[in-house]
Amino acid sequence: MAEQDFSKKEKNYYSDIPQKSEAFFLKGSNAYDWGMKNRLARIFNPRSGKTVMLAFDHGYFQGPTTGLERVDITIRPLIPHADALMLTRGILRSVIEPSVTNSVVMRASGGPSILKELSDERIAVDMEDALRMNVSAVAVQVFIGGHFETQTVNNMTRLVDMGMRYGIPVLGVTAVGTELTRDARYIGLATRILAELGASFVKTYFVPRFEQVAAACPVPIVIAGGKKLPEREALQMARDAIDQGASGVDMGRNIFQSDAPVAMIGAVRKVVHEGASVKDAYEYYLDMKKK
């Protein structure tokens, strides 16, 4: 039985101080439930409002991508430097230690390999299994303009419905096939559709006039790293994207295929979270590369 409060100290209700109710820090997210906001705050740093996601989910359709032949060897040293890990459930359960504290963004769509029509994806992870893995968000590829456009949009909206039920955000990933033009008009169309249909945040490519894409998208955008670039060019892309409205980066090959992956992810963090210039971030990369 709980003891009674016999303290003689006068109670203080601070009646002269109104209770604060501050807006959530992340763009377009203020109306979400507490659990959804808490998961987003694990992905996006509340101090900077940005994120550095480490993408190594490529094997779900490419198989053993260069640099990911042995995830247990190449990725583990990078984990302490990432805000969020974007990966598949197979890699999470087989390779990633349960003691890691990073947020997890789980690839939740799939189906075809690089040998088939890539837009023919289906939902590949049940939301209850995502809960068992304690993920912070699930990610789904959406092929706007692709052969199976409606099917992939439906994959996303079904996950959004399930995510709302359980408090799990959905990352909508814009997919660009070889037949589609990667420009502000297309990227603006795709990101806006994903946001309108319920994605909590969107992953897409950095393109000229990106500031218009970011302004027209009512939820946060993280940029994909894309193909491997020279380190300074990758840092310049990250700097330009952040300056033009991106809320972070989700880089894979530009980090794990770098000559010095740990130094590179550290340099990206300098740009995203500390506002470092490309010059300073690249000098940091070169200094850390020597160690």
By annotation, the residues acting in catalysis are 203
Distance (Å, whole) CA 95 – CA 86: 13
Give how far Cα 7 sits from Cα of 4, 14, 195, Å: 9, 18, 53
Question: Distance between alpha carbon 286 and the CA centroid of its chain, in Å?
Answer: 26
> Which residues lie closer than 8 Å to 206 by C-beta, 6 or more apart?
223, 224, 237, 240, 241, 246
Virtual torsion, Cα 196, 201, 202, 208, nearest 10 deg:
90
Q: Do 131 and 166 form a contact (C-beta atoms < 8 A)?
A: yes
Angle of helix 149-166 relative to helix 34-43, nearest 10 degrees, comes to 110
SS3 content of the chain, % helix, strand, coil (to 5): 40, 15, 45
Q: Which of 289, 242, 239 is nearest to 266 (CA)?
A: 289
Q: Which of 4, 5, 42, 38 is nearest to 24 (CA)?
A: 38
End-to-end Cα, the chain, rounded Å: 60
Distance (Å, whole) CA 207 – CA 275: 20
The SS3 assignment for 177 reads coil
Distance (Å, whole) CA 248 – CA 271: 10
